[in-house]
Structure 1
Amino acid sequence: MTQNKNRLQTLLEILIVSTRLGFTSFGGPIAHLGYFHEEYVRKRKWMDEKGYADLVALCQFLPGPASSQVGIGIGVMRGGVLGGIVSFIGFTLPSVTALIVFALILQGLNVSDLSWIHGLKLVAVAVVAHAILGMAEKLTPDLKRKTIALLALIGTLLWQTAFSQVGVILLAGLLGFLLYRDQTNNDATKYEFPISKKFAVICLSLFFALLFLLPFLRDVTSNSWIAIFDSFYRSGSLVFGGGHVVLPLLEREFVPSGWISEEAFLAGYGAAQAVPGPLFTFAAYIGAVMNGWQGGLLATVAIFLPAFLLILGSLPFWNMLRQNAKIKGALMGVNAAVVGILISAFYQPIWTTTILKPIDFAFAAVLFSMLVYWKLPPWVIVVTGAIGGLLMSLL
């Protein structure tokens, strides 16, 4: 009885702390990791510095939303699998709720005629440009990785198919393996994780089974809900580099098919910058635009499920993987390719559908300066973008 009470108290504590972070964690995945470090490591001491760095390294190795996976992993370390689920719910629910409400408000309106929406699209230009600069500095520090990024940029711009990003990422991993396989790895620290290898194998098997089974079910049944789940699940499974990189995958899944207009898509992407929490909750907005709040919840589950299965399936094997310098070399190549993919997405669809006149570029430069140089909060940038869009329509 006492043990159950203690477990319930632990889960409640995880929920309270993660929900508070979900309401206050603005600034994107790198900022999220800073918030997590302050709350979980420095303040509550749920993990030590090395354990936290180790968990962050694992989540950057995996596809999916790295900051969300770190939050899930901390929940798992603290309260087992249920702790991971509770941590995810607390951190994600505030932004999911806000974006579903935003999508429902937009329903019935002609988004292309709303001038403030264009301002939100300009916000997306500033935010993604900032992400590109930060990631390029960190992930492409040498000429070899700059070249991989350039090849990824060219490949994803000129070869725009459903498999282009996957192919580019695989080739980049191979190049990284060949170019960086001789690097040394002096980290011999090992960590214990409260998940059995058997359970981990089940999670990994389920991840791959869904990845290959869902497209088959989609074709056989022609069910729209299965099709939506498949599109979001596949997007969540194949994204390296965080929330900004999911943009081109989701855009190519839903805009050409007519499920959501380009204007509504980019309006939601701009709005997603205004809310705290993970950018992957942008999926909730898209799902709600297509099928109401039920679609928003389904999209959220589908896009985050791969992150859950991968982190739960990888924790017990991380000690073995992190000792392998060749695997780390492959990851260096993949991370460099992410920069090229992000630049490709920045050009199309963001730049080509947003920067239409000189005043658009000028206002985007102002928003970029507010974000990068003046260090204003993201919500201020979003409000300024919306108001600016209204004022520009009067000129």
Structure 2
Amino acid sequence: MNLLYANDRPGEYPGSWYAETAAELAPFPALAGEVRADVCVVGGGYTGLSTALHLAERGYSVVLLEAHRMGFGASGRNGGQVGSGQRLEQEELEAMVGLGDARKLWELGEEAKALVRGLIARHDMPVTFQAGIAHACRKVSEVAHSHAYAEKLARDYGYDRIEPLDRDGIRRLIGSDAYVGGDIDRGAGHLHPLNFAIGLARACDAAGVRLHEQSLVTRIVHGAEPAVETDRGRVRARWVVLGANGYLGGLEPSVAARVMPINNFILATEPLGARAADVLAEPVAVADTRFVVNYWRLSEDGRLLFGGGESYGYRFPDIARTVRKPMLEVYPQLRDVAITHAWGGTLAITMNRMPCFARVAPNVLSASGYSGHGVAMATLAGRLMAEAVAGQAERFDLMAALPQPRFPGGAALRWPVLVLAMSWYAMRDRLGI
């Protein structure tokens, strides 16, 4: 099944609140005929757009191919959270790569946040960065861990932006009795994800990147001058960069064996008016500690944007019904509130939840599998891949050296294995284990 078309209409954004409130972006033409460039980028999400922009700013000629619209995939549908550090906590990274490289990975994660904010400001993007992400814990042991981790980050990494919260503190902040404590990271934040992608696309266009929409890549012919083919055209380039993430399909089997596409879902309520203050006392985003994570924030017009729910098929379920259930577990007081939008999208995970950077061939680079940490890290991946193309590959190679195991069974059997694992952890969530 081609996930590019399994749940969506060709060349259209899904019916999300993000799409309804998106800044204007005129369509770009489909690729036609043969063109040449220094670099061909595949994918018009954060990874591809950031790569193209950073390369163009270095003076490279760049062609970017997108199967639908810019920001069509996970980049335009996600929860908009811009988290600190990496997807894994620093203790895990220290055990994985040692103290020195763990510190470098932390610094890259912090650079990623700063890059997002810097790009918004430098290119006057139609998006506002809101500070603050709260982490809501279900169990006392999780609260103790979150507070100890905040102390570690302050002590060992000089990061003192996290405030611990007890039961009363989390209750005052999020207006729910479902959690027993947590913390709030004032150095993290959230944004309108589709407008950030549109801002990147506008910046690419202004920088001279040749952007092509509705240009599905069907084949890559490797060699000294790779050819990237669509049904109506071909790009000849010295370098190819893959930024398709969960929509990579079969273009590169070595990446597909390590990166798993999964679906996630979000709903938007009607504007809550004065009730919004009872849902979130501050304009922060929230994520909880369930394995199947619930995450939410308020929109600019006072709606609750809530992500969560479980689905283990490639086709989308009844999204509103799927997500409304966990929303009401957190906010039973919203039972009478209407759902106005519900949408899904495909992101990508890896076995160890760290992104998969890969040198597929000497002149073909890939980054994907951000595992829910992609707003910041996919944007940084573009900068790192631009550096690597320019011959400054140390930071790309640091990410590429991370152990990245294949899913059991590789691309062929990864889905049934994931379904079994997700079902097990979802059951643990429901039992409170």
TM-score range, shorter chain: under 0.3
Q: TM-score, normalised by structure 1?
A: 0.23
Q: TM-score, normalised by structure 2?
A: 0.22
Q: Which is bigger in relative contact order (C-alpha 8 A, separation at least 6)?
A: 1
Higher strand share: 2
Higher helix share: 1
